[in-house]
Amino acid sequence: MSTRLQTGGRLIDRTKQIEFTFNGKRLNGFKGDTLASALLANDQMMVGRSFKYHRPRGIIAAGPEEPNALMGTGVDGHFEPNQRATTTELFQGLTSQSQNHWPSLEFDVGAINSKLSRFFPAGFYYKTFMAPRAAWKHVFEPIVRMSAGLGKAPTHKDEDTYEYFYAHVDIMVVGGGIAGLAAALTAGQSGASVLLMEQGVTFGGRALTDGVEIDGKPAAAWVKKTLAALKKLPNVQIRNRMMGAGVYDHGYALGYERITDHMGPSTGPRHRLWRIRTKRIVTATGAIERPLSFAGNDVPGVMLAGALRDYIADYGVSVGDRTVVVTNNDDGYRTAIALHEAGLNVPCIIDPRGDLDGELPARAIALGIRIENKSAIGKVKGGKRVEAVTLCAQAGEGGTLEEIKCDAVAMSGGWSPVVHLWSHCGGKLNWDFDQAMFRPDPSRPPLGADGTGFVIATGTANGHLDSASVMKGAVTAGKLAAKETGHKATGITPKASDEKASPIAAVWSMPQGAIYALKSKTFLDYQNDVKVSDVRLAAQEGFESVEHTKRYTTLGMATDQGKLSNINGLAVLADSLNKEIPQVGTTTFRPPYHPISFGAIVGDARGELFKPIRKSPIHQWIDDNGGDWEPVADWRRPYCYKQQGETTEQAVTREILNTRVNCGLLDASTLGKIIVKGPDAAKFLDMMYTNMMSTLKVGHCRYGLMCTENGFLSDDGVVARLSDDTFLCHTTSGGSDRIHAWMEEWLQTEWWDWKVYTANLTEQYAQIAVVGPNARKVLEKLGGMDVSAEALPFMRFKDGMLGGIKARPFRISFSGELSYEIAVPASQGQAFWDMCMEAGKEFGIQPYGTECLHVMRAEKGFIMIGDETDGTVIPQDLGLNWAISKKKEDFLGKRAQLRPHMVDPKRWKLVGLKSVVPTEVIPDGAYATDGTTRQNGVKHMIGRVTSTYFSPTLNHAIAMGLVEFGPDRMGEIIDFPTIDGDIIKAEICDPVFLDKEGARQNV
Amino acid sequence: MSNAVSAVQGASFKGSISVKDAGLQGMITLRGDLGSDTLAKAVKAAVGVTVPGVGKINTGKKGSAAWMSPDELFLLVDYATADTVVAKLEKAITGAHVLAVNVSDARAVFNLEGVGIRDVLAKGSPADMSTSAFAIGDLRRTRLGQLPVAFWLDSDTTATVVCFRSVGEHVFNWLKAAAQKGTLPKYYI
Amino acid sequence: MLLLTCPYCGVEADETELTPGGEAHLTRHGAGSSDDDFETYLFMRKNPKGVHFERWRHAYGCGKWFHAARCTMTLEVFGTYKAQTFEPPKALINNIKKKRPDWEGFVK
């Protein structure tokens, strides 16, 4: 059984007991434990079920590479699935649940899949869920949904907060092991600014567990001294619990800081996503031990040798009483020695290698540990727990020579450098045959903005497995980074010494000629249940590219992205294809290195900060007075103002009738207002608009159209000439920023010699429209300037004072009524609005919303950008030829409007549509058909509706639409089929339904 | 103008730093040839400072002048005087191609105070907030969260943030969230 | 995530402070132009694997348009320059030629 030892555990504090739960069971651990070490201390060896076969799975690693021990932690608003027990720090009250089993971890129905495993080969999904179609919906999908998926999605809103932080630094050092520390100190002492990050809690890395000596003393002393020296440097920042998550172009990197995960629910941000710009990145991210491929290598109790050693040294936890060590390299012997020194039994070290001249094997022999050379594990016996292993010859097919009773197996297949950060942005790798590993190729680094490499790999991440080379390399890396960031590099290399090691043997299959029965129980990828037999089958079926094999077999997918499985898997693939490993290559390393929370990615953009909302100066009043909000670009505008008991429709009808009869008040502040000034302003606007703007008189207004170079309508609005060289251009509410940028683009990049300045004054003014027959009376009551028809005629504006506020009323009308749009300083917008409401009381003034505006403009046949236009409509389609100057030599869009398709008489053109049955409103987006059918069986369409309303003014359903030869077909009745099969008949008519002469507005 | 109100109407917050609505602030956009003597004289007369260099803000007794782009200055004056200053500028630079407009009502301005101002701004801006890259007298136009802003340091512990009026509330709420007590990473302090 | 230096304000701007504007140095063909010229202006764009000249706007900064010479493969930035020009500066072209001897040179 796994248990807590009486002594040992350099990371735990035995005086501080911590209570936590696992699947509802109350358990105890110590401060400093991870959830994994605490579970092992409580003999909880089995921690989950595998993804596909629901096989019992135990903890296999001690770090972020752990594929099995995935937990749901926390409850309700703090619940999070798929948390690694090996990186989850224990805290008082931590709750955890195992995943992927039903009804319980101990007894699981899905485990039947394991017995059926030969029916679930590689590519099972692709081969099975093909046909019939009905089976997918009724059989496959329900089953797959029940059994698939790791963990459960949270059901509550995340109660934690998250944030970003943008950091700039000369050198970012990732990894707080001895290599990272040495590189950071060297770079820091050379004067560069340094950000050193360590994903775990403590610094020093494996060196502290593995008894490395530096400068003649245990590594711990050097680590302590170095940390102290680093902390003294003002140019160095050290952060633990922060992972180097990803490396991107031009020295951009992500750091994932877990601020409160080790404390449980707390105030303040839980995770902070660091967005770092750095000149150089030193990746000292260490190495990950590889499993060995033998049958039953997934039975709980089989663990990476280094992890087993960690649990003893770091947490004082033994995984078993009798541990068989199986290793193809000398490092595995460390575990055997550590076990022996902890008073635990090591029945045998199984080593496929022959003659060994290394110091560690010699020490093991001296301790009296049995060593079986040229040997292998045939298979592991046991279901939920290791019971024994069979010993066989590595060279054979797996015939049992002896059965060795044990309750744990420590395996070491060698070490793989963590090259992820080197590779994320394109750093290339070389296969090191001697050490059986991929390591960074320094001649092919990821390149930065200046074309030079910006990532430097060091330590074991660079393939240096002995501490002497690690120290030398780390100081060199620190110096290089310092030099390349413009600093004078200095640094002394600490001396470290290592045992003489015998060479590793590349062992990808154990035993070498394992029969199918063994291979089909030999797991490569624990998380995805991919076996040696699956990869061989994929190769046999023609999946030769490693990327294809990955997707076909799911090798290296999911949350661990093959940290343990990739190298073993591609070695098997290479072997199946009779290729060398470097010929097969690796799959692409993509960020993040390790899963990061969605919360961290989202940052603060949640709730009220999700997306900025633009608010007009009248926003609060509208909100307080029944405004029914709708989004208009980033603004919010009231669709209507609901009075007590009113439906939306009733409110809109009331607003329309009141505005047409009495007076309405509209907040038009969102309209764009761009000032264009300069000796060439008129010439410039002649290019921007289809109209002739240069002939506009000072004090006058003109409605204008803007097109893109494709000829399509992009915006419209009223232009006012403020002075000879100054114009004020109104844009649509959604168009202000876009049109301002559009103007600047042409001025800066095409006509940069033209003397024109623009300024976006959209938000300088609140713009209030006073509309309706009583509009003038309201303004006259406010007083301050002459707003009579003579002093301020239609399509003019004037500067003056209204009600004591500096105002500029424009006599423009989007409703067809007598109308003033009054611009006042935004800061006084609310005050002016209040005055209008007060003054208008006796004249029946009421505020109105955007739907009332829409209906009134449709009654008048005014087009709306975004309704009548959709990016494919030219002004000519809308009968706006009167607004297209024929005198101008050029304007944006002119050339395009002459292209053959643009002058095609068959283009759909704007008409009015009057429903034959007055109450039948044509649905939005309806198409007109002519009764014929196209070759493909679809009804032939001859037009579509662009705006459609019920007009309370006319007491009739009206619409505007684009219809083939429309203007030539006045009086014709056409069909609009609806979704439910009915047909609405409508008569083609003039789009101006009300007051064609303009008598109402021009008074 | 007693009925004039700023976008967030005096809102304030105190966390790891304090965030305060600066209230009504006179602001003028001045576009023109920043190298011309006439313009320099007009600016000096209007706000009492010389034309700032690239990316700088000059502050004097009457107001400030900030460099916004190669042909644009941003002048800060008393709210009540903005229109008068615009008129003065236009008069002083008659004949030259310039644009001077009052934009006092188009912006929201916030005062930040506390030792953590650099850390707070670095939660939302990709700009380098280190002392060597950003000093008193520098002005940076950048992105804060999802919005364009301009900010500068008035001292080691005070900063001014300017954004568009319509998003004043959003920026205030953003600053409030970023300035919550105990949430500064203490990277730039 | 690119980092480009705005040639107007000198700010080393993050990609999120910029808006992209496609290929640089297009010649506008307006009213009266031939079908071919207009087609080229409106639709035809280079898509080189290697040296490319493109437009960027410092949208969250000084608001100015500038041009960048960039390698579309390695993302190396050879330089940025102001947009008020019909072709890249000579010094920049020479610099690129030095770094990319096989480059065909600037073709409008």
CATH number, domain with residue C81: 3.30.2270.10
Contact C75 A447 (CB under 8 A): yes
Q: What is the mean pLDDT of residues A243-251?
A: 98
Q: Is C11 on the interface with B (CB under 8 A)?
A: yes
Q: Is the pLDDT of residue A116 over 70?
A: no
Same domain, residue pair A380 and A523? no
Residue C69 counted as domain residue: yes
Q: Which chain B residue shows the shortest CA-CA distance from C65?
A: B69
Residue A480 counted as domain residue: yes
Same domain, residue pair A486 and A466? yes
Identity of residue A452: T
* CATH number reported for the structural domain that contains residue A754 in this entry: 3.30.70.1400
Q: What angle do CA B10, B14, B15 make, to 5 degrees?
A: 145
Query: Measuring CA to CA, which residue among C83, C96, C36 is closest to residue C55?
Result: C83
A332 φ, ψ (degrees, to nearest 5) = -60, -30
CB B56 within 8 A of CB B120: no
Residue A510 counted as domain residue: no
Q: Quote the tokens at residue A364.
A: 């093991």
Q: What is the mean pLDDT of residues A236-240?
A: 98
Using the structure block, give the residue that is written with the tokens 């008040």.
A665
Same domain, residue pair A709 and A628? no
CA distance A761 to chain B (A): 7
Q: What is the mean pLDDT of residues A397-425?
A: 97
CB B57 within 8 A of CB B137: yes
Instruction: Give the gyration radius of chain C's Cα atoms.
Output: 15
pLDDT at B94: 87
Residues of chain A positioned with their CB less than 8 A from the CB of C2: 249-250, 449
Same domain, residue pair A306 and A406? yes
Residue C106 counted as domain residue: no
For chain C, the distance separating the N- and C-terminal CA atoms, rounded to the nearest angstrom, is 28
Taking only the tens place, the pLDDT of each residue in C7-27 is 999 999 999 999 999 999 999
Residues of chain C positioned with their CB less than 8 A from the CB of A749: 55, 65, 83-84
Contact C2 A744 (CB under 8 A): no
Residue C39 counted as domain residue: yes
Res. A141 pLDDT band, cuts 50 70 90: confident
pLDDT at B1: 58
Domain count for chain A: 7
pLDDT at C57: 98
Q: What is the mean pLDDT of residues B10-36?
A: 98
Name the DSSP class of A513. T
Q: What angle do CA A651, A656, A657 make, to 5 degrees?
A: 100
Percent of chain A at pLDDT exceeding 70: 97
Q: What is the mean pLDDT of residues A115-143?
A: 68
Q: Alpha helices, DSSP H only, in A797-920?
A: 829-840, 850-859
Same domain, residue pair A75 and A96? yes
pLDDT at A574: 94
Q: Provide DSSP, A223-249.
A: HHHHHHHHHH-TTEEEESSEEEEEEEG
Question: How far apart (Å, rounded) are the C-alpha atoms in residues A391 and A374?
Answer: 11
Contact C3 A889 (CB under 8 A): no
Chain A contact probe: residue of B94, B187, B188, B189 with most A CBs at under 10 A: B187
> Helix axis angle, A305-315 relative to A331-341, nearest 10°?
40
Identity of residue A49: R
Q: What angle do CA B71, B77, B82 make, to 5 degrees?
A: 85
CATH of B26-105, picked from 3.30.70.1520, 2.40.37.20, 3.10.350.10, 3.30.830.10, is 3.30.70.1520
Same domain, residue pair A381 and A474? no
Taking only the tens place, the pLDDT of each residue in A300-342 is 999 999 999 999 999 999 999 999 999 999 999 999 999 999 9
Give the rounded distance of the alpha carbon of A610 from its chain centre.
14
Residues of chain B positioned with their CB less than 8 A from the CB of A275: 126
SS3 B155: strand
Residues of chain A positioned with their CB less than 8 A from the CB of B1: 827-828
A717 CB contacts (<8 Å, ≥6 apart)? A671, A672, A703, A704, A729, A730, A731, A732, A735
CB count in 10 Å sphere of residue A308:
33
Question: How far apart (Å, rounded) are the C-alpha atoms in residues A190 and A32?
Answer: 35
Domain count for chain C: 1
Taking only the tens place, the pLDDT of each residue in A886-915 is 999 999 999 999 999 999 999 999 999 999
Taking only the tens place, the pLDDT of each residue in A951-981 is 999 999 999 999 999 999 999 999 999 999 9
Chain A contact probe: residue of C17, C35, C58, C75 with most A CBs at under 10 A: C75
Residue C108 counted as domain residue: no
Residues present in chain A in total: 1003
* CATH number reported for the structural domain that contains residue A395 in this entry: 3.50.50.60
Q: Is the pLDDT of residue C93 over 80?
A: yes
Taking only the tens place, the pLDDT of each residue in B85-136 is 999 999 999 889 999 999 999 999 999 999 999 999 999 999 999 999 999 9
Same domain, residue pair A686 and A565? no
Taking only the tens place, the pLDDT of each residue in A156-201 is 999 999 999 999 999 999 999 999 999 999 999 999 999 999 999 9
Name the DSSP class of A944. E
Full residue range of the structural domain in which residue C90 is found: 3-99
Q: Is B68 on the interface with C (CB under 8 A)?
A: yes
Strand order in the sheet with A95-98: A25-31, A13-22, A95-98, A70-73, A80-84
Q: Which chains touch B (3 or more CB pairs under 8 A)?
A: A, C
Residue C93 counted as domain residue: yes
Q: What is the mean pLDDT of residues A368-390?
A: 97
Residue A509 counted as domain residue: no
Q: Which chains touch C (3 or more CB pairs under 8 A)?
A: A, B
SS3 A389: strand
Q: Which among A744, A892, A899 is the nearest to C63, CB-wise?
A: A744
Q: Which chain C residue shows the shortest CA-CA distance from B145?
A: C16
Q: Which among A451, A741, A894 is the nearest to C31, CB-wise?
A: A894
Q: Which among A615, A825, A828 is the nearest to B166, CB-wise?
A: A615
Q: What is the mean pLDDT of residues A579-602?
A: 94
pLDDT at A951: 98
Q: Which among A193, A608, A759 is the nearest to B173, CB-wise?
A: A608
Residues present in chain B in total: 189
pLDDT at A118: 64
pLDDT at A125: 65
Interface size between A and C, measured as CB pairs under 8 A? 68
Same domain, residue pair A365 and A448? no
Same domain, residue pair A722 and A770? no
CATH of B12-23+106-178, picked from 3.40.50.1970, 3.20.20.80, 3.30.1360.120, 3.40.1360.10, is 3.30.1360.120
Its sign, for the CA torsion A778, A784, A789, A795, is negative
Full residue range of the structural domain in which residue A794 is found: 619-670+764-857
A815 CB contacts (<8 Å, ≥6 apart)? A659, A664, A771, A772, A853, A856, A857, A860, A1001
Q: Is A896 on the interface with C (CB under 8 A)?
A: yes
Q: Is the pLDDT of residue A547 over 80?
A: yes
Same domain, residue pair A259 and A276? yes
Q: Is the pLDDT of residue A129 over 80?
A: no
Same domain, residue pair A650 and A779? yes
Residues of chain C positioned with their CB less than 8 A from the CB of B148: 59-60
Res. A209 pLDDT band, cuts 50 70 90: very high
CB A172 within 8 A of CB A278: yes
Taking only the tens place, the pLDDT of each residue in C23-78 is 999 999 999 999 999 999 999 999 999 999 999 999 999 999 999 999 999 999 99
Question: How far apart (Å, rounded) are the C-alpha atoms in residues A149 and A147?
Answer: 7
Out of A464, A497, A530, pick the residue that ends a domain.
Answer: A497
| Residues pairing with B163 in the sheet | B108
pLDDT at B2: 72
- So where are chain B's domains? 12-23+106-178, 26-105
Helix (H) or strand (E) holding B119: helix B117-122
Chain A contact probe: residue of B94, B165, B172 with most A CBs at under 10 A: B165
Same domain, residue pair A80 and A130? yes
pLDDT at A131: 61
